[in-house]
Structure formats: C-alpha cells, structure tokens
Structure 1
Amino acid sequence: MSATLPELDTRRLAHGGVGQKIALILSAWLGVFLGSILLGLTGFGTLAVVTFFFPALLFVPVFGFVFGSIGVSRSRDRVISHTRTKILPADHPLTKGVAALATKLDIPCPSVGVYPDQAMNAFAAGSSPQKAVVSFSQSLVDRLPARSILAIAAHELAHVANRDMRRMQYATSFQNALTWYLFWWERGKVFVRWILGFLGELMLMRLSRTREFWADATGAALIGKDAMMEALRDIHADRAQPSPEYLAYARMMIRANPKTLLSTHPTLEQRLQALRDETYIRRLPYRR
C-alpha cells in the first residue's frame, strides 16, 4: 500500500452493529449453556438445571441490552464529572484540530476537553458521535508536539466513529448480566460464576485489544501511519503513572498497562508492528 492512503468510506466505519448484537446474544447463550453444564457438575439435579437454562436464554440478553443502554446513555457525563474534564471552547486550537479530523470522518465534532493528570493520556466516551467527548490530560497537551497530539486525537475520534464505546459497554453488560443471573442460585454459584466470569473477561479483553488496533489503523488512515507510530512512541515513553482516580478509566484511554494478564491494550511493539505491516489498515473500508 502506498504512503498516501485512499479516502476512507466513513459510512462503513461503524458497520456491524446488528452483527455485534447477534454475536452478543449467541455468546450469552453459550455462557448459559456452559453455566448449565457446570451447575450440573456441581450437584444440581436435572430439573434445577432446566429451570435455570430456559429462563436464562431470555433474561440474560434482556438484562444485557437494558443495562448496556443505561450505561451508554450515562457514560459521557459520568466520565466528564469523575475525571474533572474541563470542556474547551469552540475557538480553542485543540478543539479546531479535533473538529477538522471529525470533518474528515464525517461525524459531528464531539466535546473536547482537558483533565488534570501528570501522566500523558487521552480518552473518548459517549453513546454516539453526537453525544461524545474526547479529553486529553494536561500533561499530554503541555509536553507533546502538535503532530503527536493530532495523531492521538485521530485515534480517539476513531473510537467515536467506530462506536467502540457502545461495543465495549454492551459487551461488559452482557458479561455482568450472566454473572448477576448466576448470583441468584444458592448452590455452586461461586464456582460457576468464577469460571464463567474469567472466561468472559478473557473475551472482553480480547475485544478491547482488537478495538485499539482498529483505532490505531483508522487514525493512521487520517494522518499517516508514521505520525501514528511516532505518537504511540511519544506517549509510551512517559514514565508517569496515572493518578489513582483515573485508573478506573484506564481501559478507555490510549495508554494502559499492557503487561497484566487481563490487558485491555496491546503492547507498544504489537501496535507498532500492526501499523508497520498495515494489518488492520488494509482492512479498513475505502472508497473505490
């Protein structure tokens, strides 16, 4: 692929919404099936397992969608409040830069803000491009060159355009829904919840890492992969750790600890290698 990438087909960036919902329902049913097997192994009678199985096929997806919708609708305002993000005016240079990138992605410009933290980081939150916020740590704005800030903004806007916040919220809600349903059972529930919770967490973290690769690729398609790689190196070179109050939102940020067992982010080398090889860049939707 040439250094100059073709124009993105922005209408197809957020494709797969229906497919994801079907995948969530199927994964919930798989979890119910595995839970039924594990409940049987822990001494439940056949009638008890059947009584668990059929209602769960309905209730787990319903709970997942209901609580997922509630979580998504509240996410923007909750994150702004908890991170103490200060929304910048429309004529601020950073807001103008984000607005220009949003125009390229054919989405409304989200609210742009800055939050007080010594670690260089950034995040996106919100239920849709119309109700989203992109926020940068004060340290990042103060210390990084404009080119890297623009690349990081492109990465975060990619999350907005790809509706990644909705994807992750619904995936988390479905995982929680199965755990909550199992909580109602008196015998064997701790063991079964632990097993299914761990398997669900592995799947959730894999989805999170994949969405980071896609955001890097989409950002690279906007501002060039060299600029994206440079920004990733710059931000990972920062040795400052996020303040404790921001650790709860680490999964939403461009930089998190990739060395934990259940990592939400790939390692820096994995991200750079994916950009060098154009693994995800080649799979983005482009205009013919």
Structure 2
Amino acid sequence: MVLRVNGLFGWVRANDRRSIALFGGLILAINVGAALFLLLPLLAVDPDHAPVTAWGGYARRYVPLVTLAAGAVFALHLMRHVRSVQRLTGFAFVDDADEPRLCRLVEPLAIGMGLPAPYVGVIEARALNAFACGLGRRDAVVVVTRGLIDALDDEELAAVLAHELAHIVNGDIRLLAAADAGLRLVGWLARPPAARRQQVGALLSLPVIMAVLPPLFVFILIAGICGQAAIRGSRLIRLMISSSREFIADACAVEATQNPAALVSALRRIDGRSRLNHLPPGQDAMMIDGASEGGFATHPTIARRIAVIVAVTGSMALNAPKRRDTRSPDQRDRAACAIRTGVFGAAPPASERGTPDLVDPGDARNWLGFTPVMTLGAVLAVAVFLGMHRHDLHRPAALAAALDPRPAGILLAVVGREFVCNAAFSSVGLALRATGLDRPVGCDAAPARDLAAAQTSGSVGRFLAALTEPPAGLSMHPNGTFGSAPSPATEAETVRTRRCFRTKGYARGDGGLHAVDAPPRRDGAFDIGRWLAGAEAQAVQTAAAGPEAGDRPLDDYLSSRKSIVHAVDRYFGEPGLAMMRRSFASPSHQRAIGRLRERLGDPRWAAGLPPVRRAEFTLLANSPEDFVTCSARDRMDRKATVPPT
C-alpha cells in the first residue's frame, strides 16, 4: 500500500485541513436545508426576501438569522451531548470500586497523554466496541462495552483506550458532536413536511396537491431532491471526518503505547464483532469501529487501518511481544464462550438504555425524499395531472402554463399578507381604532386584483378564479375577504340608488313602541324630546364652527342624525318620525345642511372621502328628508305598493 502522505502523522496534518473544509460544507448544507424549509412560508409572508425568487434579499435578511439560529441549536445540542449519548447507548458511569482493571489502565494512559483523568463508562453488551464523547478534556467520557473488557488482554485494552484518549486530545469528540448536531439539523430542515404524515395521508395528499396546485407538487419534488442531497452530503461529510480521524487516533495510540502489535491484535478481535444492535444506523461514528459500507458508513475498514499501521511501523506491528493479561478466569470464560457461539451485539435491557433522543438520520427514502408509499402517491399524482390535461398533451406550452409557479406564488403572497394583517389587526385593533385606522399600514392593497392578474388557463388559474368569485350571499371586500356585510362599493351604491343608509337589522318596535307624548322616564331612557334637543344642539355647533375645527363637526353631525333616525324609527315608529321631521326643519338644521352643501362643492374634498361616507354626505345634503334607514325605506316601499282598499 502506498501512502500519499508522509507516515501516520502525515494523516494528522492533512486531515486537519480536510476536516475544516468538510465542516464548512456541513454549514453550507444547513443553509440549503433552511432555504428549503423557509421557501413556502417566506413566499407567503415576505415574497420580496424569499429564496429562489429573491436570493439577494434572502441572503441579506435571513441568512444571518439562520446562522444565528443554527448556532443556538448547535449550542443546545452540544450542551446536552453527553446526556444524549448516554440515553442512546445506555452506558453507566463506573469508578475504581466498580471496574478496577479498567480504571487502572485508563488513568496512567491519560496522564501520559497530558489529559486529566476522564470519566469512565461501561455498556452492558457483548459487542466489542468503545468510544469517547464530550466537548472538552475536562468533561470527556471514555466508554467501553462489557464484551470488550472481557475479550481483550491488558495490552490490547490499553491500545483501544489510548485510541479513544487520542480522540479527546485531538478534539475529535467536539468535532463529531458538532457534525452530528449539524446532521440532525439538516435532516429536520430538509425533510419534506408531507413525509411526516400518516401513510394514507402521504398516499392521497400528493394527488390532491397535483389536482389543485401543480406547481406545489413540482416544488415538493425539487425540495425532496435537494433535501436528500443535503442529507446524504452531510452523511458523507461526517463519514470523511470520522474515517480520517480514525487513522489519526490509531497513530496517537501507537505513539502512546509504543505497541502497534497490541493495537493490530485488538482491531482483529473487534472486526466483525462490534455492532450494537440497539444503536440506530449512522450513530456509530464515535465508536472505534462502525459501519464501513452502505449509506450509513462511518468508518474505514479494519483491514485498511491495519494495513496503514503495518505499512508505517513495519515489523513492530507483526512481532508481538508477550502481553500482560490480568483478566479473571470468569472474564476469559465469557470471552471464549462468546467467540465460540458468536454472541455479539446483544442490546442491554431497555430499562438500562433509557430513551434515545438522537434523531435517526434517515429512513427508507429515495433520491426524491419519498418513502415507498409517497412514491406511489407521486405516481398517482402524475396520472391525475395527465388525465386532467389529456387534451393538452400535444401542446407543451399549455402543460408548462399549468405548471407555472408564478400564480401560486401570488396566491401564497396574498394569503400570507392577509394572515399577517389580520393577526396584527386583532392584536392591536383597539390602538388602531384610537388613531382612526381600520387596518395596519400596508394592508390596504386589493388582493382581488392580484388574484385576477395571476389567473392562467391552467389548474391554478381555475383555482384563483374561484377565489375571486364571492360565494352566494357574500360580498368581496377590497382586502380580498368575503363577508355577509356588503362591500363598501355595494353599500355606497345602495345609498345612492335606494336613498337610505344601512344599519344592523332591526324590527320596528322590537324594544317596545313608545308614545311620543308620554312623560319622560326617571332613568332618562326613551326620551325623544331629549334626543331631538341634542340633535338641535349638534346642528347649532356645526353651523357655528370656525375653519379651525376642520371637517370634524360635519362628521359628528352626520353620525348624530344617523343615530337619531335609527333610534326614533325603532322605538317610536311613524309618530316619532313625523316629530323628528318637524324638528329637523328648524333653521339650525338648515344652516348645518347648507354648510355641508358648501363643503361638497369642493371636488377634491369629496373625492378624498371614503365611498360610503361620500354617498351619505351627498344624500343628506341634497335630500335630507330621504335620509332614513334602509329598514324604514323597505316599509315605505311596501306601503307604497299596497293598493288602497
């Protein structure tokens, strides 16, 4: 075997540089996953800074935020790393009283390698394996399996322990902890949301999405491909970091023990007997031996590692001196029995393992990021699309129009804008009303126009067209929402054509009809004389107001007349309306009406009024006797159509 670097310690220098570059690639994979995760939400709430459509805006606004958030998640996972590994592997901490042989080997090796004595743990499993974990030299833990303690003599066990201590000296435990945290984050960000649903939902959701919004199906495909590329690339990065560090740790173990033969012998005993059955795939990167083939490979093969040691140390790795063995007879018997029967990889009891909380980095997904059930759903989705567009199969342009993502982007932007505006309105509605605003600033655009502009001949176009048509009995408002209340344009047209203003529905007398000449009640309620006197005072104030008062007196006068008309019709009926008309014919009211007519003569002022307000001002100024509620107008119209008896 020919080494491309100078000796075992040439691996150290070469792989330090390589690990930095590869870890940078892992950070890039995290940002790719974050961009995929944020694409749809940002298209809805912030399309000017969404990835794909506005990479520059996304990079300026969200990449720093993603980086900070990733740093916070890294810090959280790193702080919990030892505890997470303990829950995953089920190791228990031991000391001299529990494992005197093991601790007597660890402590002098640690001192010789310049380390404080690490914590020691044991996994009660017959597999032959070991690992080190932690973030630094002071909180590091060296863990071995029961099978390894029983199967190796003192020299072999010391070589394995020196290998794990080398991971602590070289900072590999911190690097691998960060790599695992990054892989978990990439897997969480890049996994398509549909993949987390139940199987039936995964099977049916994709055909439904294709029937309603085909561009969303295309996005799911692209996101799945990019997400799987990020996940598999992250696994490859971790494999390259982990495998390269194994060569370095082997070199340090040889230097610390001056006994390459013991390390070679230990690796040969471990080969094929290291698997912990309860460990999820891909989580053996921290072990002295792990998977060397397949999508979850984390280690170079034992044969290659031995070949490197032999190539560098020569006969020292082959000529093994007599080795020390302080194992008890029971330990030797257990090891011999395990070798004869092939009992390796047995999991510890569930009560001792705890609940693993490290995320399994992958499940059975293909390069599209689909499980087998989702793949079947994707095939059905394609069949649905071809069936819906069977008449356009010979027209590629029509098929491309059906998959055009721009209408879907506009739809998401409109829906997201309304969600944000309505949420903001609900939380600050009182403050907005206090300042005279009905909706948050920037929320007055008309999404109905956006939706109409986005309509195409494809499925998205038909879907958007349906959105722009109000359901039966409902009206569309300028903000794109539907409601039982008429839109401002409809309400203004009602004022102009029917010559009345709308109020909340009521029936005359539903609060009890009162006589206009009845004595006032002690509580002052239903005192029509007091109501009309208040309206007279309002008219006087409006007529006498100076220019400094602005248009507020006119607004107050209009509101006052609407309230009086409504209350009198509801509680006093026709006698009350007749009394009200006589009161409104007073000179004070006539002067107030004259001032309103004069103000409406300014076309710029009239044009700046809201449509409903402008229509009500115009009706009051031109025909004050017709300024009644629409409920009263309905009764008048019915009475006019009834033939006299």
TM-score clears 0.5? yes
Q: Name the SS for the 2:133 alignment partner.
A: strand
Residue matched to 1:235: 270
Q: What is the alpha-carbon distance in structure 1 between the residues aligned to residue 26 and residue 104 of structure 2?
A: 41
Amino acid at match of 2:290: A
Deviations 1:223-266 (A, max 9, x none): 1322221211121153x742325767422211212122441010
Residue matched to 2:27: 28
Structure number with greater CO (CA < 8 Å, separation at least 6) is 1
Partners of 2:163 and 2:250 within 8 A in 1: yes
C-alpha change, 1:88 and 1:234, in structure 2 (3 Å) is same
C-alpha change, 1:90 and 1:182, in structure 2 (3 Å) is same
C-alpha change, 1:54 and 1:194, in structure 2 (3 Å) is farther
2:82 counterpart of 1:76:
yes
Deviates more, 1:189-198 or 1:157-166: 189-198
C-alpha change, 1:26 and 1:56, in structure 2 (3 Å) is farther
1:62 to 60, 68, 73: 68
Give the Å deviation of 1:73: 1.9
Identity of counterpart residues, as a percentage? Answer: 24
2:141 counterpart of 1:142:
no
Give the Å deviation of 1:157: 0.8
TM-score, structure 1 normalization: 0.75
Residue matched to 1:95: 103
Partners of 1:121 and 1:137 within 8 A in 2: yes
Give the Å deviation of 1:136: 1.1
Residue matched to 1:284: none
Deviations 1:64-87 (A, max 9, x none): 432222222222233234433232
Residue matched to 1:119: 127
Partners of 1:56 and 1:181 within 8 A in 2: no
Partners of 2:30 and 2:185 within 8 A in 1: no
C-alpha change, 1:253 and 1:182, in structure 2 (3 Å) is closer
The root-mean-square deviation of aligned C-alpha atoms, in Å, is 3.6
Give the Å deviation of 1:169: 2.0
Matched pairs, number: 260
2:136 counterpart of 1:128:
yes
Partners of 1:25 and 1:61 within 8 A in 2: no
Amino acid at match of 1:227: A
Residue matched to 2:294: 260
Q: Name the SS for the 2:243 alignment partner.
A: helix
Q: What is the alpha-carbon distance in structure 2 between the residues aligned to residue 179 and residue 134 of structure 1?
A: 28
1:47 to 47, 53, 73: 53
Amino acid at match of 2:153: P
Please show how residues 107-186 of structure 1 align to structure 2 within 5 Å: 107-178=115-186, 180=188
1:214 to 248, 251, 258: 248
Q: What is the alpha-carbon distance in structure 1 between the residues aligned to residue 240 and residue 168 of structure 2?
A: 19
Deviations 1:23-47 (A, max 9, x none): 745653477579989x9xxxx9863
Q: What is the alpha-carbon distance in structure 2 between the residues aligned to residue 86 and residue 235 of structure 1?
A: 21
Partners of 1:29 and 1:57 within 8 A in 2: no
C-alpha change, 1:152 and 1:100, in structure 2 (3 Å) is same
Q: What is the alpha-carbon distance in structure 2 between the residues aligned to residue 151 and residue 273 of structure 1?
A: 17
C-alpha change, 1:50 and 1:190, in structure 2 (3 Å) is farther
Structure 1: give runs of 5+ residues left out of the alignment. 1-7, 280-288
Partners of 1:125 and 1:132 within 8 A in 2: yes
Larger Rg: 2
Residue matched to 1:106: 114
Give the Å deviation of 1:273: 1.8
Partners of 2:33 and 2:189 within 8 A in 1: no
2:92 to 86, 93, 106: 86
Q: What is the alpha-carbon distance in structure 2 between the residues aligned to residue 59 and residue 161 of structure 1?
A: 33
Amino acid at match of 1:206: M
Deviates more, 1:63-72 or 1:113-122: 63-72
Partners of 1:258 and 1:266 within 8 A in 2: yes
Q: What is the alpha-carbon distance in structure 1 between the residues aligned to residue 122 and residue 33 of structure 2?
A: 44
C-alpha change, 1:216 and 1:175, in structure 2 (3 Å) is same
C-alpha change, 1:96 and 1:193, in structure 2 (3 Å) is same
Q: Name the SS for the 2:80 alignment partner.
A: helix
C-alpha change, 1:155 and 1:268, in structure 2 (3 Å) is same
Q: What is the alpha-carbon distance in structure 2 between the residues aligned to residue 173 and residue 49 of structure 1?
A: 26
